[in-house]
Structure 1
Amino acid sequence: MSWNWQQPDWPEFRYDAAVLTSIEERFLVSSGKILGTVQHVNPVERDQFRIDLLSDEAMKTSAIEGEILDRRSVQSSLRRQFGLTPDAYPTKPREQGVAEMMVDVYSTYAEPLTHETLYRWHDMLLSHDRHLETVGAYRQHADAMQIVSGRLDRPTVHFEAPPSGQVPSEMDSYAVWFNKTAPGGSEPLPPLTRAGLSHLYFESIHPFEDGNGRLGRALAEKALAQSIGQPSLIALAFTIERERKVYYDQLERHQKTLDVTPWLEWFAATVLTAQTVTLDRVGFFIGKAHFYDQHRDKFNERQAKGIARMFREGPEGFKGGLSAENYISLTGTSRATATRDLQDLTEMGALRRTGERRYTRYWLNLEN
């Protein structure tokens, strides 16, 4: 089997640009909507929105690789990185590392890509990992860099990257390509085309001992931010994680060919979905601000705790809605008191109620 990097015309990816024209236009329109809508969020809420979105992205980009992070630790680390007042929750090395990388990607998006950029991100992300031979530099081991699954004695090889000795020259070419295809570069590409190619190209080189998926998605974010002139603030990793198997299938399929139109179509559609998710979240934050303006001084301590916990679940809320049992567990109160509290919240318009008896559920009553 021949991998894409073994083919004679590597890395000349082939694709039908005409197929992507309309979706590229939709991306730019949606980007304008997001940036315009964010302006309606007050500065304090905007900081929290940024923290919540980046923490979700940090959580999901790690979850794609099977790594589960502590959300509160990630958020605490992000607040420190942005110079905001930190909470008392302790930060952990793994969470602090991914938070540092996310903020660096966010704040340096306009800078050209260099080897040092990638080394810095890798060091931030994996300096805590004592099992890696090389951190903050490209891999150097002599063994083949393979993505495998299955039994140890009969593994299935999904992909094999270029040998370590070839990586420096491959990454020289990659950095040159990334910078010349940027807006203002000598060979600029449309936003989604460039972001999709940047991710596939990087993953095909797989230059680091570990962390390639997370860095590759960070590069796609950098490419998108450069195309619109500011951090994109889209839920890309969040959206990819929901289609994790399809994502890996698409990568595997297109690491065996240089004909990548289907990959670019899939990636572009995923970005548009991520933009929709982000618009929903901006609406959620605006709704949250209006909600507290209307109800802030009306809650007792138990109700305030329950409402705050519901907001932490995000736009989707509690799966299946908040039940009386959920409320009792959250507040530590009796069933009779929970019933009164929930009825009071419904009557004041803070919650809406669906179902009857044991199927009764409560939802945040937000303005559209």
Structure 2
Amino acid sequence: MHWNWTQTGWPHFNYDLEALEPLERQFLKSSGEIIGAVRHFDDEDSQSLRIELLSDEAVKTSEIEGEMLDRLSVQSSLRRQFGLDADNRAIRPQERGIAEMMINVFETWSEPLIHETLFRWHAMLMAGNRHIATIGGYRTHDDAMQIVSGRFDKPVIHFEAPPSRQVPAEMDAYLSWFNRSAPEGTSPLPALTRAAIGHLYFESIHPFEDGNGRIGRALAEKSLAQSIGQPSLTSLAYTIEKGRKAYYGELEKNQRTLNVTGWLVYFSQTILHAQQTTLARIAFYIRKGKFYDRFRGQFNERQDKVVSRMFREGIEGFKGGLSAEKYISITGTSRATATRDLQDLVEKGAMTRSGERRHTRYTLNMPEAKK
């Protein structure tokens, strides 16, 4: 199989620049909308929004790789590392590690990319991992680095990366390209073009034993941040996870060629979709603020706890909605009290009710944000 890194011309990718121009313009327009929307928040609200977005990205970038993390634990870890008040819940090493990496990506977006940065991210990601030989360094094993699926006796090879002995030289070239193509570099590239190539290029080298996907998406975020001059807060992993099958399919197809126009269009459209998701989440956060302004002081302690818990689930809320059973589980109260509390919330206009009997569900009644 002729993988991209075995072909004459590697690592110089070919693409149709004109196909990207309208997407690049839309990216800059949407970036301005996001920056403008966030600018109206005070410091406390900005910090809370940042934690919500970063925690969702941390959870989703891990979920893409099949690792399920607890969103609230990741949020708690983020709050601690930002120096904010946090609960005392137990946090697993992998949840603390991804939170550390997300903050480091966020805080060091403007710095040039160096090997040590990648090693630090990898060490954070692999905290507590006892299944790989090299943590905080590039792979050194002699076995082929392959992406496979299917039965053990009949594996399907989706991609094979360069052998470990080539990785240091490949990564030297990658870092040179990444820094050279930055806005202040000697050969700057447009925002989407650079992020898309940078992600595919990194994934094709696959320099680590594990964690390449998560680090590759972090590099895309760093690239976008450098292009707009501040952390992008783009819901990239959140969006990719929704179309995970297409993401892996496009990667596999474009790791067999150096003509990557299709990949650039796909990844650019994914970023644009991610921007719209970010704008929707900002609108949700504004609606959350309006909700609390409207009902401040009207809830008892149990109701406050449940409403807060529902908001912490994010824009998607509880899967299947809030039931009386979930209310009881969160508050530890009796069924009769839960029924009275929920009815009171409906009568106040804080929640809406749908369904009947055991299918009854409750959702927050949130005002639409004014445009």
- TM-score, normalisation: structure 2: 0.95
What is the identity, as a one-letter code, of the residue corresponding to 1:108?
A: T
1:1-368 equivalence runs, <5 A: 1-356=1-356, 359-368=359-368
| Inter-partner Cα distance in structure 2 for 1:356 and 1:80 | 42
Displacement of 1:72 in angstroms is 2.6
Displacement of 1:105 in angstroms is 0.6
Does structure 2 conserve the Cα–Cα contact (< 8 Å) formed by 1:150 and 1:156?
yes
Displacement of 1:347 in angstroms is 2.3
What is the identity, as a one-letter code, of the residue corresponding to 2:31?
A: S
* Cα distance change, pair 302–23 in 1 and its aligned pair in 2 (3 A): same
Does structure 2 conserve the Cα–Cα contact (< 8 Å) formed by 1:40 and 1:286?
no
Secondary structure of 1:159 counterpart: strand
Deviations 1:188-228 (A, max 9, x none): 11111100100000000011111111110010000000001
* Cα distance change, pair 262–228 in 1 and its aligned pair in 2 (3 A): same
* Cα distance change, pair 327–167 in 1 and its aligned pair in 2 (3 A): same
Does structure 2 conserve the Cα–Cα contact (< 8 Å) formed by 1:346 and 1:353?
yes
What is the identity, as a one-letter code, of the residue corresponding to 1:168?
A: P
| Inter-partner Cα distance in structure 1 for 2:320 and 2:31 | 31
What is the identity, as a one-letter code, of the residue corresponding to 1:203?
A: E
Does structure 2 conserve the Cα–Cα contact (< 8 Å) formed by 1:167 and 1:205?
yes
Secondary structure of 2:337 counterpart: helix
Secondary structure of 1:363 counterpart: strand
Displacement of 1:353 in angstroms is 3.1
What is the identity, as a one-letter code, of the residue corresponding to 2:324?
A: A
| Inter-partner Cα distance in structure 1 for 2:80 and 2:349 | 36
| Inter-partner Cα distance in structure 2 for 1:48 and 1:165 | 44
Does structure 2 conserve the Cα–Cα contact (< 8 Å) formed by 1:100 and 1:124?
yes
Secondary structure of 2:297 counterpart: helix
Displacement of 1:325 in angstroms is 3.7
Displacement of 1:290 in angstroms is 1.7
What is the identity, as a one-letter code, of the residue corresponding to 2:54?
A: L
Does structure 2 conserve the Cα–Cα contact (< 8 Å) formed by 1:148 and 1:157?
yes
Displacement of 1:356 in angstroms is 5.0
Tell which deviates more after alignment, 130-139 or 247-256.
Answer: 130-139
Does structure 2 conserve the Cα–Cα contact (< 8 Å) formed by 1:41 and 1:286?
no
Does structure 2 conserve the Cα–Cα contact (< 8 Å) formed by 1:311 and 1:317?
yes
Deviations 1:124-176 (A, max 9, x none): 11142222211111111111111111222221111000111111111111111
Does structure 2 conserve the Cα–Cα contact (< 8 Å) formed by 1:41 and 1:285?
no
Unaligned runs of 5+ in 2: none
Does structure 2 conserve the Cα–Cα contact (< 8 Å) formed by 1:97 and 1:124?
yes
Displacement of 1:259 in angstroms is 1.1
| Inter-partner Cα distance in structure 2 for 1:91 and 1:150 | 33
| Inter-partner Cα distance in structure 2 for 1:353 and 1:127 | 44
Does structure 2 conserve the Cα–Cα contact (< 8 Å) formed by 1:45 and 1:289?
no
What is the RMSD of the two structures over their aligned residues, measured on CA atoms?
1.6
Tell which deviates more after alignment, 133-142 or 221-230.
Answer: 133-142
Does structure 1 conserve the Cα–Cα contact (< 8 Å) formed by 2:52 and 2:314?
no
What is the identity, as a one-letter code, of the residue corresponding to 2:230?
A: Q
Displacement of 1:359 in angstroms is 4.7
* Cα distance change, pair 77–179 in 1 and its aligned pair in 2 (3 A): same
Unaligned runs of 5+ in 1: none
- TM-score, normalisation: structure 1: 0.95
Does structure 1 conserve the Cα–Cα contact (< 8 Å) formed by 2:122 and 2:136?
yes
Does structure 1 conserve the Cα–Cα contact (< 8 Å) formed by 2:72 and 2:312?
no
What is the identity, as a one-letter code, of the residue corresponding to 1:232?
A: S
Secondary structure of 1:141 counterpart: coil
What is the identity, as a one-letter code, of the residue corresponding to 1:214?
A: R
Deviations 1:253-275 (A, max 9, x none): 10001111111111111111111
4+ long deviations beyond 6 Å: none
